[in-house]
A and B are shown apart, each in its own frame.
Chain A
Amino acid sequence: MATSILDKLPAPEENEANASSLESIESPESPKSPKSSETPESPESIECPESFESNVLNAPIEPTIHKAPTNEAEPLNASIGSDASDASSEAQNQASPSVASFKPNGKKAKNQGRIFTIPGQVVSLVVLVLPLVVALYMSFTDWSPTRSSLRDASFVGLENYQELLIFDNRFLQAVGRTALLAVVCLSLEFVFGLALATLFLRTFRGQKFLFSAFLTPMMVLPVVVGYTFWMLFQSNGPINQMLALVGLGGVEWFRNSNLAFLAVIITEVWHWTPLFFLILLSGLNSVPENPIRAAVILGATPRQVFWKVVFPMLRPVIIVAFVIRAMEIIKIFDEVFLLTRGGPGTATETISLYIYKLAFNDFQLAYGAAAAFLVLACSILMVHLLMIPVRDQLLENRS
């Protein structure tokens, strides 16, 4: 396996000699599940699915791969493949070959290379960071465009934040509501997504078509999703028609607080279950086969295999899925705005809707900005805590 991948490398001639010598070393390596990708597989990708078992095997040979084009003596820990493990260690990072191997005078090359990131940084700085700084300043003032210009606004310190956290019930309710929405939606999406993904581990006719079909909702614009479900939930709409068949006629989805909230949940689950399905399926497909075979030989039932062997290995993937979805659901706006506008009353008002109404209906810009920063702080904290167990995955970049 490993050798065939090396052969695919359109490597320059200098590499070829080394590649052939590598074959003999690498061939005893455990069979790996082939990963298909348009880009030719690189040596380091060999070990990404089962780094825990093949790290030892690979480590001694990697300096050879690396030295080939550079003729430079690299320390052992600078090998490409061990990056996943050394990503967290700053000291090893320093010794890593990224720059040094391009040109002998590594430091200069590094500085020249930095130029590449400058355009992006400038754009982000001017268009993204600058407004954020303005907003942060604003959140400490009592500014409102109906009264004065920003320069004349008086500095009120943490008053906005105090007001939000202690006195603003509508804000606190919006936060609670968004959290509830997140918990309910993510659980449902996870369960449905996992169920569908496990079905796709089997083989059946039309699998490709079903796979594409199940991903479709994700592609639809949030605004369109909101509008479509608004139509579906009309009192004379198709959902009520179907409910009437089982004796539940005349449901007014948008007049009842709980039902409106339920409508938002259904919409959101329909829209984003495919993401869980997709992520969990690719996670399931990259679970190495050997532990499963071992468990089967040892007499495990399929259920035990799934919960005791596969599921633990899926954990990082599951966390990534939850983090990504949680980030999006905290910001949820488009669907709800078109579906219910936050109504009836404030029954479906999420954080984003509240901030939007504060800023663009009531023109309390400073106050809205403060609310936004509170939300940002909470989300960063949440994402950070959630991602600690999987940060090696995110950093698996072998730079």
Chain B
Amino acid sequence: MLNRPLSPWQIPVLVLALIVVLFPIFWLVMTAIKPPIDWNASPAIWIPSEPTLINFQTLFDPDAIRAHGVGGVSQSATRAVLGSIMASLSSTFLAVALGLISAIGLSRYSRTNWATPLIILSGRMFPPAAIAVPFVIIFSMTNLMDTYPGLVAIYTAVTLPFSTWMLKSFVDDLPREMEEAAMLDGKSRLAAHLTITLPLIKGGLFSTTMLVFILNWSEYMFAQVLSNTKIATIPVQLAKYVTATAGTLYGVQAALAVLAMVPLIIGGYFIQGHLARGLTFGAIKK
């Protein structure tokens, strides 16, 4: 819009902002490669003199850290990592697949009035702590407590409105003449959507999938409430290190946090172009 260069005083502002933005991430990564003796040193050590990968190793082999004189890590994080991958992937797939069908239905075959976005958004307004309460009751009646299918069901249901609404905004962007033309050529309604609509929104489909995955991957409370001994996810495991042995496992925790964070930062980078639309439920198109 302005196409002007920065004024001299604006450069330090940007640099300062960059430092503020990146500092916590820098600190987390540094903590993840600190040897146990540096974890909680006083004064704090900013950059470890002897960087190590022992924390990452400990995640999957709890005994590894014993050599450094640290106890208290009793559980490997393997189960949590696998659990997170499994639960997030399957619920993302379900939510996006169901959301795509609903999005086409909503966009092409029904009227949305003012109440529709409000109803869809309400699902996201409800405090999760409160949804968790009835879930716990119903799941304990149906033996779904502490199982992955139960977790996947919740994740799917919670992200379905989101994926539907976001995909709908992409389908809305397509002129319906294309599908109509295919139908005039004798294609069935379903075939027209599969061969015309789907390929044209694949960018949007990818972004939606990624965002839904981010939501599922980050989810903490439902997993915390519904898991007991049989299932775990990364956020639950991360919080466990805090509660069980508060303040003593900085490095291991940070290593798990880095592992959890990296896929999202990479994935987020690829969908930057659709981020605004996704996070505003399609209200902002660019």
Chain A residues with Cβ below 8 Å from B281 are: 324, 394
Inter-chain contact B221/A334, CB cutoff 8 Å: yes
Comparing A21-29, A165-173, A181-189, A228-236, the segment that makes contact with chain B is: A228-236
A158 within 8 A of B: no
Interface residues, chain A, CB within 8 Å of chain B? 9-12, 14-15, 35, 37-40, 42-45, 48, 65-66, 68-70, 80, 88, 90, 93, 96, 98-99, 101-103, 109-110, 112-117, 119-121, 123-124, 126-128, 130-132, 134-135, 138, 145, 150, 195-196, 199, 201-204, 210-225, 227-232, 234, 236-238, 241, 270, 274-275, 278-279, 282-287, 289, 292, 302, 317, 320-321, 324, 327, 330-331, 333-334, 337-338, 351-353, 355-356, 359-360, 365, 368-369, 371-373, 375-376, 379-380, 383-384, 387, 390-391, 393-399
Contact of A110 among B109, B118, B221 (CB under 8 A): B109
Measured CB to CB, the nearest residue on chain A to B269 is A212
Bits for B157-188, please: 1 = Cβ < 8 Å to A, else 0: 11011001000111011111111111111000
B230 within 8 A of A: no
Chain A residues with Cβ below 8 Å from B201 are: 39
Comparing B51-59, B60-68, B69-77, B134-142, the segment that makes contact with chain A is: B134-142
B9 CB, nearest partner CB in chain A, Å: 11
Contact residues of A: prevailing secondary structure:
helix
Inter-chain contact A199/B13, CB cutoff 8 Å: yes
A-B contact pairs, 11 of them (CB 8 A): A37-B286, A116-B108, A124-B161, A199-B6, A222-B218, A224-B28, A237-B44, A282-B286, A333-B128, A360-B129, A397-B107
- Assuming A150-B137, A224-B238, what are 17 further A-B pairs, CB within 8 angstroms? A35-B286, A38-B202, A39-B170, A119-B98, A119-B102, A124-B157, A127-B153, A127-B156, A145-B137, A203-B4, A241-B44, A317-B284, A334-B235, A351-B127, A391-B117, A393-B284, A397-B168
Chain A residues with Cβ below 8 Å from B177 are: 11-12, 15, 65-66, 68-69
Distance between Cα atoms of A147 and B126 in the complex (Å): 27
- If A114-B110, A202-B3 touch, whether A236 touches B43 (CB-CB below 8 Å) is yes
Chain A residues with Cβ below 8 Å from B25 are: 216-217, 220, 228
Bits for B197-236, please: 1 = Cβ < 8 Å to A, else 0: 0001111100000000010011011000100000000110
Chain A residues with Cβ below 8 Å from B107 are: 397, 399
Number of A-B contacts (CB under 8 A): 389
- If A132-B134, A224-B28, A373-B130 touch, whether A214 touches B17 (CB-CB below 8 Å) is yes
Contact of B238 among A128, A210, A227, A371 (CB under 8 A): A227
Inter-chain contact A116/B109, CB cutoff 8 Å: yes
Chain B residues with Cβ below 8 Å from A274 are: 21
- If A39-B174, A101-B180, A231-B31 touch, whether A333 touches B221 (CB-CB below 8 Å) is yes
Inter-chain contact B118/A116, CB cutoff 8 Å: no
Inter-chain contact A376/B203, CB cutoff 8 Å: no
Inter-chain contact B5/A204, CB cutoff 8 Å: yes
* Most B-side CB within 10 Å, residue of A127, A279, A302: A127
Inter-chain contact B133/A365, CB cutoff 8 Å: yes
* Most A-side CB within 10 Å, residue of B21, B170, B201: B21
Measured CB to CB, the nearest residue on chain B to A45 is B173
Distance between Cα atoms of A103 and B180 in the complex (Å): 9
Contact of A270 among B3, B20, B134 (CB under 8 A): B20
Inter-chain contact A12/B250, CB cutoff 8 Å: no
- If A132-B126, A216-B21, A241-B44 touch, whether A114 touches B105 (CB-CB below 8 Å) is yes
